[in-house]
Amino acid sequence: MGYRHFKNKLATVIYDDALVDASCEQLFQREWLQQNSNGALVERGKAVMFSYRGLELVFKRYHRGGLAGRLVEKTYLYSRLPNTRVWREFNMLVAMRELGLPVPRPVAARCVSLPPLGYRAALITERVADSKTLTETLCEKPLDNALWQKLGALIARFHRANVYHADLNASNILLTGSDEIYLIDFDKGVIRKHLSRQDAQSNVSRLRRSLDKLQGRHPTFYFSEENWQALTQAYQRAMDCESA
């Protein structure tokens, strides 16, 4: 059991053979996804939820941002397979799970070479059961400060493992019904030899900007300065314990 990969014409697929087999390539086909996800649209920036052989899975397609994204939405400059965003995120998830960090289990990834220099890619992960994003949760109800403290300590745990999340926002944090917390979407993230204090703080600041923006956008959004203080104090205590 382990991670296997195969090449089929221009496509290369990597998959967890404890969960799926080589036939998993069909899961990346637009028609198959639409038929098996209640007709969900496979489009930019939208995760597609579907079931397969008793597994609850999430499909994500990689897209370019900015002006380039509007011109060539799903194509990236190809150099080597290990350098592609999809391969890097798949292997980063594997590495973080080996470190015991709460992230989704990677199931399969597919990269299609588009000569001479382009590629398209998609990633499939296991869905975190009974979970909602922090954004969805705060639109429905407040969280007690103990849970904010738990989130602060968890972010510190990732930082102590030298994990840099390139976009730590409220929609990339999952809460389960039993108050477990997961971080998701590590596109452009990296596990560094040493995570600088500046980069660690940039993750925390990014989360605060996200919460402030959401509070201004939604008429009901349960977030307060007291909540933030609970998070940052727990975060700092956890970071101080590591450096002591």
- Token pair for 89: 């995120």
- The single-letter code of the amino acid at 196 is S
DSSP 8-state assignment for residue 169: -
Considering the domain architecture, whether residues 151 and 232 belong to the same structural domain is answered as: yes
Residue 150 lies in domain? 131-243
What's the predicted TM-score (pTM) here? 0.91
Considering the domain architecture, whether residues 61 and 160 belong to the same structural domain is answered as: no
- H or E element, residue 135: helix 134-140
Considering the domain architecture, whether residues 104 and 172 belong to the same structural domain is answered as: no
CA pair distance 161, 126, nearest whole angstrom: 22
How many Cβ atoms from other residues are within 10 Å of residue 99's Cβ?
13
Catalytic member of 17, 167, 185, 199: 167
- List, for the chain, all residue ranges whose pLDDT scores fall below the cut of 70: 1, 43-45, 63-79, 116-117, 242-244
CA-derived radius of gyration, the chain: 19
Considering the domain architecture, whether residues 20 and 37 belong to the same structural domain is answered as: yes
Considering the domain architecture, whether residues 169 and 114 belong to the same structural domain is answered as: no
**Which of residues 126, 157, 181 is at a domain's end?**
126
Number of domains into which the chain is organized: 2
**Which of residues 126, 149, 167 is at a domain's end?**
126
Decide if 6 contacts 19 (C-beta within 8 A).
no
CA pair distance 8, 35, nearest whole angstrom: 23
Decide if 193 contacts 113 (C-beta within 8 A).
no
Q: Which residue(s) pair with 56 in the sheet? A: 51
pLDDT digits (tens, 9 = 90+) for 117-143: 677 899 999 999 999 999 999 999 999
Is 185 a known active-site residue? no
pLDDT at 75: 54
Considering the domain architecture, whether residues 184 and 231 belong to the same structural domain is answered as: yes
pLDDT digits (tens, 9 = 90+) for 48-79: 999 999 999 999 998 654 334 444 445 555 55
**Which of residues 126, 155, 176 is at a domain's end?**
126
Considering the domain architecture, whether residues 100 and 10 belong to the same structural domain is answered as: yes
Considering the domain architecture, whether residues 9 and 98 belong to the same structural domain is answered as: yes
